Amino acid sequence: MANINGNNIDDLFRQASDKYPLRTDSSDWAKLSDALEKEPSLIQPSLSGKEDRRRRRLFWLFLLLLPMAGAGYLFWQSGTQRPAQRPAPTVTQTRAQNPAQTPAQASTQRPSRTASGITVPSPSVASVAPKSFTRGSDNQSTTTRGSATGRETTRGSATRQATTRGAATRGLASGDLAPDGTTSRGSTPGLTTSGTPGATVEPSADPLLAFLDVQRARTSDGVLLQVDVHRTNQTAPIDKGKTAKVTKLQPNHHSFYAGLLVAPDLSTIRFQTVKSVGTTYGVLLGYTFNAKWSLETGVYIDRKKYFTEGQYFNKEKVPPLRYVDLQKVDGICNMVELPLSLRYNLGTGNKVKWFTTAGLSTYLMSSEWYNYQYLSNGNPMTKAASYRNPSQNWFSIVNLSVGYEQKLGSIGNLRLEPYLRVPLSGIGTGSLPIMSAGLNIGITRRIW
């Protein structure tokens, strides 16, 4: 016994464990094969590089769609505004008995209303319009393009709008056209139009339009034609002593606005499967610096649901998991999100705005719940665990979005905003890079 120590015994048994003569002819592949057929692999082979690349391509394509949609809208808008930049038809007016009318009145740029009462926005419209308008016996001649005398008014935009607005041109009877191409209207006595056969002339019930002596005409396919209008027995008296002022409206862009948003939230970790949909809702606050730039913040309550393979879950904060083979993790987390973003208006229409935002978000995690699937001693097991106030991630999430805003009258603005949140660091107990995408739907309203 004196010669035996621990090391001797250990070495002896190590040798014995490898070389002891155990019978090994009991293998039964058929039985194992049958078992494998009955219970196929729980774990699918990892995604091939090709499929992985395809999934990433789709994601980036989706991401590119957002700015492309914005760019497309801008392009479309510039395309529709182009005709207005072309040399506009001029209106020459001769008003024999209108001494009080000033050039400014004559060029009361664009009408603020059309015949049917539809408001035509004209941010730089003169604020003066005649209070009364009577048509007397004065001879008045209005021609488009090239009148030798009188004042000239450039109103291409107004003309275009009038032509494209169905409501404004409704009520015209094509039968009013005279065989020689002129139109004589009972409602506007003495009004004659010379131009391309088939053209129609809209009678304008609006005194302002009449005051401008501009007649809109269009062919059956809506193309604006040059029209010579001769008026007889019409007068456009203006109150004597009144001087017209051209005042450009300067909207005050400095304002605060607030809104309520709700969004379905899709969270993924390294482009893995999205198994269920989370939610985001909260309050948005914004400050507008000017027509283009705004600063936005708010408080959102997020509930994110995500799934990950075990390899992406950092087990450092969960000691019991360190020595097991973590397979899959399903997670749900509740958090308060504090975004801080800059907003840039890509385009602004009458009632529509297209915008993009970029900024950083803070996640204040309030609770997490995880369902772990792991192998313990080769045996598949599951365990659920929840954590309170596990982590705070200050300004560690990049916020990107492109949005659309539609005016809804007195209610405010409807806001639709696809967003993407890209984490700069691991989030939560498992330090998971939770990437989120969704669609903010909400109402915003100017508050101050």
Partner 1 sequence: MEKLIHIIEGCAVQDRHCQQLLYDKFYGLCLKIAFRYVNTYEQAVEVVHDGYLKMFRNFSRFEVRDKDKVEMLLMGWIRRVIINAAIDYMRREINNHQTYAIPEHVWEHGDDRQLSDNSLLYKELITLVKELPPAYRVVFNLHVIEGYSHPEIAKMLGITTGTSKSNLSKARAHLQKALAAENVETILWQT
Contact positions vs partner 1 (CB under 8 A): 1, 3-4, 6, 8-10, 12-24, 26-29, 31-33, 35-36, 39-46, 322-323, 325, 375-379
Whole-number minimum distance, CB 326 to partner 1, in Å? 11
CB closer to partner 1, 230 vs 328: 328
CB closer to partner 1, 33 vs 119: 33
Q: Hey, CA dihedral for 405, 409, 412, 416, is it positive or negative?
A: negative
CB closer to partner 1, 48 vs 350: 48
Whole-number minimum distance, CB 15 to partner 1, in Å? 7
CB closer to partner 1, 14 vs 245: 14
Whole-number minimum distance, CB 44 to partner 1, in Å? 7
Whole-number minimum distance, CB 434 to partner 1, in Å? 24
Backbone angles phi, psi at 284, to 5 degrees: -110, 135
What CA–CA distance (Å, rounded) separates 318 from 195?
85
Q: Which amino acid is at 226?
A: Q
Whole-number minimum distance, CB 275 to partner 1, in Å? 20
How far from 255 is each of 251, 287, 405, CA to CA, in Å?
Answer: 11, 6, 16
- Strands 151-154 and 192-194: what pairing? unpaired
The torsion angle over the Cα atoms of residues 347, 350, 351 and 354, rounded to 10 degrees, is -10
Whole-number minimum distance, CB 386 to partner 1, in Å? 22
What CA–CA distance (Å, rounded) separates 368 from 389?
8
Residue of 422, 346, 307, 425 lying closest to 59 (CA atoms): 422
Whole-number minimum distance, CB 404 to partner 1, in Å? 44
What CA–CA distance (Å, rounded) separates 261 from 431?
28
Q: What's the CA angle centered on 404, arms 403 and 407, to 5 degrees?
A: 145
CB closer to partner 1, 45 vs 409: 45
What CA–CA distance (Å, rounded) separates 421 from 267?
9
CB closer to partner 1, 185 vs 317: 317
CA 215 to chain centre: 38
CB closer to partner 1, 1 vs 148: 1
Whole-number minimum distance, CB 431 to partner 1, in Å? 21
CB closer to partner 1, 78 vs 382: 382
Whole-number minimum distance, CB 49 to partner 1, in Å? 14
The answer to whether 74 touches 292, Cβ cutoff 8 Å, is no
Residue of 160, 147, 144, 178 lying closest to 224 (CA atoms): 160
Report the run of H or E that residue 362 belongs to, with start and end: strand 352-376
CB closer to partner 1, 211 vs 374: 374
Residue of 324, 294, 289 lying closest to 310 (CA atoms): 324
Whole-number minimum distance, CB 270 to partner 1, in Å? 17
What CA–CA distance (Å, rounded) separates 444 from 406?
10
3-state secondary structure 221-264: CCCECCCEEEECCCCCCCCCCCCCCCCCCCCCCCEEEEEEEEEE
The answer to whether 293 touches 341, Cβ cutoff 8 Å, is no
Q: Which amino acid is at 299?
A: V
CB closer to partner 1, 24 vs 350: 24
CB closer to partner 1, 251 vs 319: 319
Whole-number minimum distance, CB 11 to partner 1, in Å? 8
The answer to whether 108 touches 208, Cβ cutoff 8 Å, is yes
